[in-house]
Structure 1
């Protein structure tokens, strides 16, 4: 596909094949008339990495997640009403994209859903071969360490601690977190304390309201000092503070005012870019006052699909607006434990049995595979 179209169809292009992109591209493949619209999905990897499964996946080869949680795009389009391109986006122009390979891809409607960049141990490479080697290296690294220090006590640090305790209950696991309680103040103190109690009951050591000074650039054995004056040593010191930045470096080439200083995409409540009604954005890259989660990305995707169809129909006044629902989080603690929060009423909390049923056991892998047209 080149910048010059070889047919008269309009081009609808989705950039990013994560939770938002998949749930936009697949429904559109059902709803768009393939004789009038050419649908394209662009993603750097040939597979979607299911983020809820990544921590268990990198710790060991349990549950064959290295296969089931890396979901290919070959079934993404209904009746093959679409094209998948494995590539990155270098820049945006009016009506076209330039890809990392140099290929030009035209668009009439553009949907940005390029997600976030993550740090080791869930900084997955782009190729299947490199990802396989990456998993083997991580399995060896975790198995060989006798103790772990996790710098960050949000969902990543807490869930990683639970996975480590599942496999090596005798090994020392320590979490360092800069806030006075785990997670952040989106959630009630009661929930945050309950989560801490679930971890300490498994032998996880918590150091709260303190941070590591001079965290090593690469995960490995280290002795670190904290601002509170502690000296801590571990065979494996890891940064577990979550994603590093949104994957939006290619956007300012088109609109220098499209991003916030932190790199998130400014959007209207219709999830259109402020100055470009034919460009939509969804998922973790948008600037919106809510926690970044797959469930939110799915809600964005549903709205974007509706609004793209409304925009195509020429009825701009029919576009829907996005509103965040209540905050919720399901945090695993190994396969059989965890703690969940739903921000309704006074803040509902559910423990291990409920969380394991909904998330911990399967890590939502069957549901996400179904989103991609797989069973």
Structure 2
């Protein structure tokens, strides 16, 4: 019986698996989802959890897979993928796990997500390992009197806001290599407005500066450019790196030099017929955000079903509107939507949409819990 295998059950893999389980005929196909952790991780909420060890938010951030498969059509396998092999026909093969086990596939969907640093680099294991991790970081933040956050993308900005909520009088410095926050996907006026909102909260900003080594052995430090800054705790808050080392086994066409997956407009991996990819890891000119799953998932689902029915995949991914909501603690933030003339949102709407709830409802829907 042909087996559809999804590698990764995060913000992209979970909705793809959820959608496929409703459309696959269980008498003709099996669906297997491989995940390195036995729970879904809702990353947009983790920064607040790391700072506060909020038990309710922990539960809302680490969600079970009990309702992931519709009609019970699918199974979860917990394991770390180390490689992919192909059969001589090139249209099937096995996924190799660190345990030594091999999982056969006839259609393969790759959504392995990103590798993160510091507090977002959760350990493998069950939920108790994650909870211990959160507690250890909350204690680090509690013990430090001053912080330096390296990287003023969404992660750095949001962590700065969470820290200021909990520690109103501690020194916080946000260091960024560019001359403005975020990146040039967004207009300069919006990027400068976010910086203004951060400075209002008495968070220091060092732009056009880099920190090459994370060294927490002292309090006085200097950037690569020689600018001094004070921090008991330096935290890297840079973007994630694609978790694609195991995909090298597919061949040279599969990955870019940086490690992103080359895909066709159908989201099939370059050089492959029965292998698809979605999420942060694909080489596509767009921001790497979980919100893009709403565009990736329908393409993958329709094309997998077409392939299994003997047709050529034809649905193409056309890209998604660029939009971002950046929290600034529980009650503030700013947003941008790349529509019309560019729509900007302030504290009230950003807090209402994201800052207060951290999009927990979206996460629950992704795994069939809402």
Select which of 234, 237, 254 maps to 1:237. Answer: 234
- Please say if 1:84 is aligned against 2:84: no
Matched, 1:359 2:358: no
Answer with 336-345 or 293-302: which moved more: 293-302
Query: How far has the Cα of 1:167 moved from its partner?
Result: 0.9
**CA separation in 1, counterparts of 2:102 and 2:225?**
53
Counterpart position of 1:369: 364
State which of 4, 28, 31 in structure 2 corresponds to 1:12: 4
Ranges in structure 1 where 5+ consecutive residues have no aligned partner: 1-8
Partner of 2:189: 190
Question: Gaps spanning 5+ residues in structure 2: where?
Answer: 87-92
Quick check: 19-28 or 128-137, which moved more?
Answer: 128-137
**Corresponding residue SS for 1:237:** strand
| CA shift for structure 1 position 346 | 2.6
- How far apart, CA to CA, are the structure 2 residues paired with 1:227 and 1:107? 48
Q: Structure 2 length as normaliser, TM-score?
A: 0.95
Structure 2 Cα separation of the partners of residues 228 and 348 of structure 1: 36
In the TM superposition, what is the alpha-carbon distance from 1:63 to its structure 2 partner?
A: 6.0
Shift of 1:347: 1.8
1:29 equivalent in alignment to 2:21:
yes
Contact 1:221/1:237, CA 8 A, preserved across alignment: no
- Report the counterpart of residue 226 of structure 1 in structure 2: 223
| Equivalent in the alignment of 2:300 | 304
Runs of 4+ that moved beyond 2 A: 212-216, 219-223
Instruction: Tell me how far apart the structure 1 counterparts of residues 79 and 324 of structure 2 sit (CA, whole Å).
Output: 32
Q: 2:97 aligns with which of 73, 91, 99?
A: 99
Pairing 1:320–2:315 present:
yes
| Separation of aligned partners in 2, 1:45 and 1:213 | 31
Whether the 8 Å CA contact 1:222–1:237 is kept in 2: the answer is no
The size of the alignment, in residue pairs, is 363
> Counterpart of 2:52?
60
Instruction: Give the CA RMSD over aligned residues.
Output: 1.4
Whether 1:41 aligns to 2:33 is yes
Q: Deviations over 1:271-302 (max 9, x none)?
A: 00111111000001111111100011331112
Q: CA deviation at 1:33?
A: 0.6
Q: Give me the whole-angstrom Cα distance separating, in 1, the residues matched to 2:323 and 2:217.
A: 33
Q: Aligned-pair distance for 1:228?
A: 3.5
